[in-house]
Structure 1
Amino acid sequence: MTTELNHQATRAMAPPPRSARLERKVHRLVAVAQSLTQGRAVASLCRDVLAAGSAGPHVLPHASRLNNDGNPLQLCLSSGARGTVLKIIGDPGAQLAGLEPRYRRTRAAVRTCLKAAGAGALLALAERTLDCLLPDCAQARAAYRHGFAWIGVSPDQPGAAFYAEMAPLGRHGGWDRASAWLAGMLPDDRAAQAAIAALRAHCVVASAGLEGSTPQDARAKIYFRLSTPMALAALGIDLLATPEVRDFLTIAMEQFAIDRDGLVLSIGFSLASGAVADVKVDLCGHCLRHDGAGWNALLARLAARFALASAPIAALLADGECAVAFIGFGLDAKLSPRLNVYLNAATPHAPPARAALAAAGDDGVAYLCQLQQQDGHWSDYRLPVGASDQWVSAYVGLALARYGAARGHAPALAAARRAAAWLLAARADAPGWGYNAGTGADADSTALALALLRALGLPNAAADQHWLRGHWRGAEASGGVGAATYEGPHAWGQAHWCVTPLAYLGMAPDQQRALRASFLDGVRSNRMADGQWRSYWWRNPYYSTFGTLEALAALDQLDIDAALPMAAAPAAPIVVDNAFDLACLLGGELLRARAPDQFGARYGAQLRTLLAWQHSGGGWPGHANLRVTDQHCPAPWDEPAGDYYTDHAGTISTATVLRMLTLAARPPARSNGPSNHHLIGAAS
């Protein structure tokens, strides 16, 4: 059997995982751009700035810093006195894991975008700019882990922009390179060198590049941040000391504070003359904590103060489709103002769509696949007996196997097969599996491993099933009906309901038939007045409840839950503060849902919270939920005793969310029992 699994499971190193959530955000921004322009070649422009090609906007997590969530695409609505134009800004090559391929792709994307935007006259100047601003050797380019340049184009007007990343050069290196670049680009660089001399003592270069369509109208731009707090008027740049800039900051910031990273400044110089052409002040939209109505009011005030056209963003903010990433105020040498609103995709106010849940799940799978060791196992927790590999691998592998089958997700199934192969090869000759190789077998780990094998269509060994049967405790036992995790000592050898459902399902069919009445009696006797089931090894009862309802669904016995009495709804909502508990609670509620198609509407806020807790890398954070209950404590649901431990890598938490998302991908088709949990609150 091990040989068969090893044949099925590839041993090749997987490429870095794509982020389904970021790709979904890119697609949503493309759709927004199309709605704003009636689709005028916007999709192709987005592909150009992302250097995505015909394959589409594949995105790796952590590959871009254009937005704070890693999205490599951004929209800008730029308003002047005569109207508003759309600009599309992209971080090219965010789908490429190798830095040198991304470097080459970025330079090619700059050329492509300049030609497509009618700015072919800038091609030679663009090559000189990139040669000067970016390192000329691969070793130095290794510091550019988040990309080399951003590119901006517009479907509404000719011209393009690109900005080379400068932060990896350091404070002095950035200014030195900017100075040398401007000396070679401008016919008269005296104004530029004077500005650099004034700025380099108080600021650090962020990026630099060109904007325009021809050498006659183009500007050489430098973007920078303050390195020490100071008034902008004290920087020695006349345009930054104007009443217009002061009024913008006064209106825009209001009562909010902006940290230094949330303030980005720029100065531009005319390529034709070398004179100062413009300045711009960008403020972080996340620091200005407005809701949609607040943003609309602020932008209306700014438009009125500077006699600018109003940007059409009210509808985009109202439904949560977009969020303001930055707002920028530009002022040219003639004191003509311009207001830029930079938009990123946001989390809609509506309940998460099925596609959003699928994207979150796919990223969770990618995270777990990245954590999986090459031999197929996972490791997590730090107990006195060490880390867990067998139990964690069985739990994660089972979640991936079920998710892979429900979603047709090949990488999830492949990872589950590798885990099963490792479990079969790694254990000792004795039946069963344990927390790790040193702790001996236990019913929980064994039941999970057998469930994983069944989920993959592989047989369960009779010796393992018989071993599980030996851990069954009948009604005459002091701890009641169910499966004991261990033979002892003390309460550890009594029945533990949180282990029982999978242990029962792991037995041979004839054993299940013989114990069916006993198991169903245990279902009834271990259910508490609030509709939850007792849990011995976990802080809260939600895990045990989720597992019990899953087992009842597998046995087509959910009517038992519906028929049991339920206490009145609690006066206060259940409040959970971690992904593991919230996923278990939502999973139980989904199994009990009378109208599964309305589950998202009822629990939309909780689902949004769960997705918000997901890390950018795809996993969910672990939490101290696992309790190593004191062996002398028979009823921790009444008087808990023991120490709590965290899945530091988030393996169990992430896998548990995948269990719930598997159900969400194919909700139950029939009505089930009632729920008294009218409100689940999630602590942020």
Structure 2
Amino acid sequence: MADAVGFLLRARQQNGLWGDFNRINGGCNNWVTGVAALALAETGGDEALAGAAAALEVLRGRVQPGGGWGHNEIAPVDTDTTASIIKALMAVSAPENPPVIAAAREFLRGHLTDDGFQTYGTGTTIRFSDDAVVDAGWRTTHACVMANCALILPDQLIPLLRQSQQADGSWTPYWWRTPAYPTALAAEALAAHGDGAAVDRAVTWARMQDPAAQSPFCAAAIARVLIAGGDRARAGDILAELLRRQLSDGSWMTGADMIWPRPDQMDGHTDFLDVPDDRRVFTTAGVLLAFAAATARS
């Protein structure tokens, strides 16, 4: 994995952050940096940890009033980005991190509703131009975002994750084309809290997939589901194939299947823009996280 770590360290921008998904407004640097920093921290190497810590120092200076972050410096604050950064801060020891984590956790808690969890809070203005938008779709509960936040607010979100699991064992995404990534996040959160039955259903879904026909990002997510459920042999086969698919610069081919629904769309797959990770940072971080999960559970 040294080549993948090297790719991520070289991919940091002059502002100290990683950027990706540049097809949308301003790209995604805060969110991508949280995920890339977590991936580096989970590898445990000194150089990787130093790179993660340096990027997180920049992110601490970007936190918004109320404790959250938007996907970039001009975007409205959201729970998905904030959770990704919290996870990275929790993985890197620094005396400045605990108060930032505590404030960010309270920011997430403020997005709980009577029957769900918001990606964008009621009081957050969603505006990317001079025109106001109809934004009911972006403010509703998204299973993929709950899955990312569940480890941080487990008492509130783990029960909601159980309820939103589909009959085939997956979770339906709003911000992603396929269920692979949110199902990986959900399975890891549920496994951490001992919900073997729900994880087993997710593993059943993962075993029905064909990783060879998937992007490296989605194949890595499927491996993470299998690792969470203890199927190390099948996950190992996927990871071995991912090593064969690694590019010469240490990265993997663009494959994070993010979508950008219109803000008024309650079903994210009705009217959306495909937003690939054009710099391959998010895909490479996702694959690194799969290898880190395999190592942690070995």
Same fold (TM over 0.5): yes
Pick the aligned partner of 1:451 from 50, 67, 87: 87
Match of 1:435 among 49, 71, 84: 71
**Which structure 2 residue ranges, 5 or more long, are not aligned?**
127-134
Instruction: Indicate the residue corresponding to 2:23 in structure 1.
Output: 383
Matches within 5 A, 1:594-609: 594=231, 596=232, 598-599=233-234, 604=237, 606-609=238-241
1:587 to 212, 224, 231: 224
SS in structure 1 of the partner of residue 185 of structure 2 = helix
Q: Please report how far the alpha carbon of residue 657 of structure 1 lies from its aligned counterpart in structure 2 after TM superposition.
A: 0.2
C-alpha separation between the residues in 2 aligned to 1:565 and 1:371? 33
Residue 365 of structure 1 corresponds to 5
Q: Residue 20 of structure 2 contacts residue 28 of structure 2 at CA under 8 Å; is this kept in 1?
A: yes
Correspondence 1:198-237 to 2 at 5 A: none
- What amino acid is the match of 1:484? T
Structure 1 residue 380: deviation in Å? 1.6
> Does structure 1 residue 397 correspond to structure 2 residue 37?
yes
- The one of 254, 275, 294 aligned to 1:664: 294
Contact 1:497–1:535 (CA under 8 A) maintained in structure 2: yes
Identify if the C-alpha distance between structure 1 residues 459 and 565 changes in structure 2 by more than 3 Å, giving closer, same or farther. closer
Report the CA distance shift for 1:573/1:384 in structure 2 as closer, same or farther (over 3 A).
Answer: closer
More strand as a share of residues? 1
Equivalence map 1:617-632=2 (5 Å): 617-623=249-255, 625-632=257-264
- Measured after TM superposition, the shift of residue 550 of structure 1 is 1.4
Shift of 1:385: 1.1
CA distance in 2 between partners of 1:618 and 1:557 (Å) = 35
Letter in 2 for 1:663: A
Compute the displacement of 1:460 (Å).
4.5
Q: Over residues 392-416 of structure 1, what are the superposed CA-to-partner deviations in whole Å (9 max), with x where a residue is unaligned?
A: 1111111111222xxxx11111111
> How big is each residue's C-alpha offset from its partner over 1:342-378, in whole Å with a ceiling of 9 and x where there is no partner?
xxxxxxxxxxxxxxxxxxx221011000111354211
How many correspondences in the alignment? 283
Decide whether the 8 Å contact of 2:69 with 2:82 is kept in 1: yes
CA distance in 2, matches of 1:575, 1:473: 39
- 1:534: Cα distance to partner? 1.4
Aligned to 2:177: 539
Structure 1: which 5+ residue stretches go unaligned? 1-360, 476-480, 669-684
Distance 1:533 1:472 in 2: 19
> Greater RCO between the two (CA within 8 Å, min separation 6)?
2
Equivalents in 2 of 1:576, 1:459: separation in Å?
A: 42
Are 1:613 and 2:249 an aligned pair? no
Letter in 1 for 2:117: G
Q: 1:665 to 1:370 in 2, by over 3 A?
A: same
Q: For residues 282 and 138 of structure 2, what CA distance do their matches in structure 1 show? A: 22
Any idea what the Cα deviations from partners look like across 1:148-187, whole Å, max 9, x if unmatched?
A: xxxxxxxxxxxxxxxxxxxxxxxxxxxxxxxxxxxxxxxx
Q: Which residue of 458, 465, 468 maps to 2:108?
A: 468
Contact 2:31/2:72 (8 A) holds in 1: yes
Q: What is the one-letter code of the residue matched to 1:415?
A: G
1:495 aligns with 2:131: no
Name whichever structure is richer in helix by fraction.
2
C-alpha distance in structure 1 between counterparts of 2:267 and 2:297, whole Å: 34
Q: Is the 8 A contact 2:35 2:84 kept in 1?
A: yes
- Once the two structures are superposed, the pairs formed by residues 300-319 of structure 1 within 5 Å of their partners are none
Residue-by-residue CA offset, 1:63-106 (whole Å, 9 max, x unaligned) = xxxxxxxxxxxxxxxxxxxxxxxxxxxxxxxxxxxxxxxxxxxx
CA contact (8 A) 1:398 1:416 kept: yes
SS at match of 2:259: strand
Distance 2:203 2:150 in 1: 24
Residue of structure 2 equivalent to 1:482: 117
Change in Cα spacing, 1:374 to 1:643, as seen in structure 2 (3 Å) is closer
Change (3 A) 1:630 1:599: same
Conserved 8 A contact 2:150-2:186: no
Structure 1 equivalent of residue 275 of structure 2:
645
State the alpha-carbon separation in 1 of the partners of residues 203 and 83 from structure 2: 29
Separation of aligned partners in 1, 2:229 and 2:203: 14
Is the 1:427–1:437 contact (alpha carbons within 8 Å) kept by the matching residues of 2? Answer: no
Which of 417, 421, 432 aligns to 2:57? It is 421
Cα offsets for 1:185-221 (capped at 9, x unmatched): xxxxxxxxxxxxxxxxxxxxxxxxxxxxxxxxxxxxx
Distance 2:80 2:203 in 1: 29
Matched, 1:635 2:279: no
Structure 1 574/654 Cα, relative in aligned 2: closer, same or farther at 3 Å? Answer: closer
Specify which of 555, 561, 569 is matched with residue 199 of structure 2: 561
Report if the CA contact (8 A) 2:175-2:259 is conserved.
Answer: yes
- Cα-Cα RMSD: 2.6
Alignment partners' CA distance in 1, 2:295 and 2:199: 23
Question: SS at 2:168's partner residue?
Answer: coil
Displacement of 1:649 in angstroms is 1.2
Return the alpha-carbon distance in structure 2 between the equivalents of residues 621 and 474 of structure 1. 41
Which SS does the other structure have where 1:499 is aligned? helix
Q: Give the secondary structure class of the aligned counterpart of 2:21.
A: strand
Q: 2: distance between equivalents of 1:429 and 1:473?
A: 21
Preserved contact between residue 482 and residue 500 of structure 1 (Cα < 8 Å): yes
CA distance in 1, matches of 2:230, 2:212: 20
- Cα distance in 2, alignment partners of residues 375 and 521 from structure 1: 39
Find the residue that maps to 1:528 and give its secondary structure. coil
1:239-278 alignment, distance < 5 Å: none
Give the aligned partner of residue 306 of structure 1: none
User: 2-side partners of 1:611 and 1:563: how far apart?
Assistant: 27
Residues of 1 paired with 2:228 and 2:161: CA distance?
16
**Correspondence 1:293-304 to 2 at 5 A:** none
Give the Cα separation in 1 of the matches to 2:89 and 2:203. Answer: 36
Report deviation, 1:560: 3.7
1:551 CA displacement: 1.1
Q: Is the 8 A contact 2:118 2:141 kept in 1?
A: yes
1 CA distance for matches of 2:203 and 2:48?
A: 39
**SS in structure 1 opposite 2:163?**
helix
Counterpart residue identity of residue 473, structure 1: T
Mapped partners of 1:494, 1:443: distance in 2: 12
Identity, % of aligned pairs?
27
TM-superposed deviation, 1:424: 0.7
CA–CA separation in structure 1 for the residues paired with 2:204 and 2:251: 35
Check if 1:504 corresponds to 2:134: no
1:593 alignment partner AA:
G
The correspondence of residues 97-136 of structure 1 with structure 2, limited to 5 A, is none
The one-character-per-residue Cα deviations of 1:247-279 (angstroms, maximum 9, x if unpaired) are xxxxxxxxxxxxxxxxxxxxxxxxxxxxxxxxx
Q: Distance in 1 between matches of 2:73 and 2:148?
A: 21
Evaluate the alpha carbon distance shift between residue 434 and residue 566 of structure 1 in structure 2; reply closer, same or farther with a 3 A threshold. Answer: same
The Cα of 1:660 is off from its aligned counterpart by 0.2
Indicate if the aligned counterparts of 2:40 and 2:52 stay in contact, CA closer than 8 A: yes
